[in-house]
């Protein structure tokens, strides 16, 4: 059953991305610098709360939310496709898995999932993000 859902997810996402042109912004702010010039906080902010903010399984503390968003950024930016980036918080843990990158126009995009584990129960949220010219990853809505 899960395989069928995943199999249906990618073509649907690809159709949406193709139709939208994968146009993303980073809050309307232009940046001339890369990761070293702007600092990692800018790139975490560009995730707009990431997938973890869409998961209603639990309310995360500010520190746990930061850990979760950093894991999302690391998975999108550098993790090989299918390689989990795990994080541990206070009573909650998470795992972010990004698929292989794909190109839409001049942008690199990736599908990814974020699984939260609370009290032994897993809940997963799935989505996609595209990398902007300034290096920030912006989720597709």
pLDDT tens-place string over residues 91-105: 999 999 999 999 988
Please report, rounded to a whole number, the percentage of residues in the chain having pLDDT higher than 70.
71
Q: Assess if residue 124 is contained within a domain.
A: yes
Q: Give the mean pLDDT of 118-131.
A: 94
- pLDDT tens across 26-55, in order? 333 333 333 434 456 777 887 888 999 888
Q: How many CB atoms lie within 10 A of CB 98?
A: 26
Q: Which domain holds residue 63?
A: 43-141
Is-contact 135 38, C-beta < 8 A?
Answer: yes
Number of domains observed in the structure of the chain: 1
**Which pLDDT does position 90 carry in this prediction?**
92
Q: Assess if residue 28 is contained within a domain.
A: no
pTM of the model: 0.71
């Amino acid at each position: 059953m899960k395989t069928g859902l995943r199999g249906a997810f990618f073509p649907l996402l690809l159709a949406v991305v193709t139709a939208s042109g994968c146009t993303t912004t980073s809050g309307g702010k232009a940046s001339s610098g890369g990761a070293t010039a702007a600092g990692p906080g800018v790139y975490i902010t560009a995730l707009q709360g990431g997938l973890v903010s869409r998961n209603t399984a639990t309310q995360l503390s500010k520190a746990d939310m930061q850990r979760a968003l950093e894991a999302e950024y690391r998975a999108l930016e550098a993790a090989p496709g299918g390689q989990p980036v795990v994080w541990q918080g206070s009573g909650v843990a998470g795992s972010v898995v990004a698929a292989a990158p794909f190109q839409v126009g001049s942008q690199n995009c990736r599908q990814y999932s974020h699984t939260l584990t609370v009290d032994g129960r897993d809940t997963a949220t799935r989505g996609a993000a595209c990398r902007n010219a300034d290096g920030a990853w912006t989720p597709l809505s």
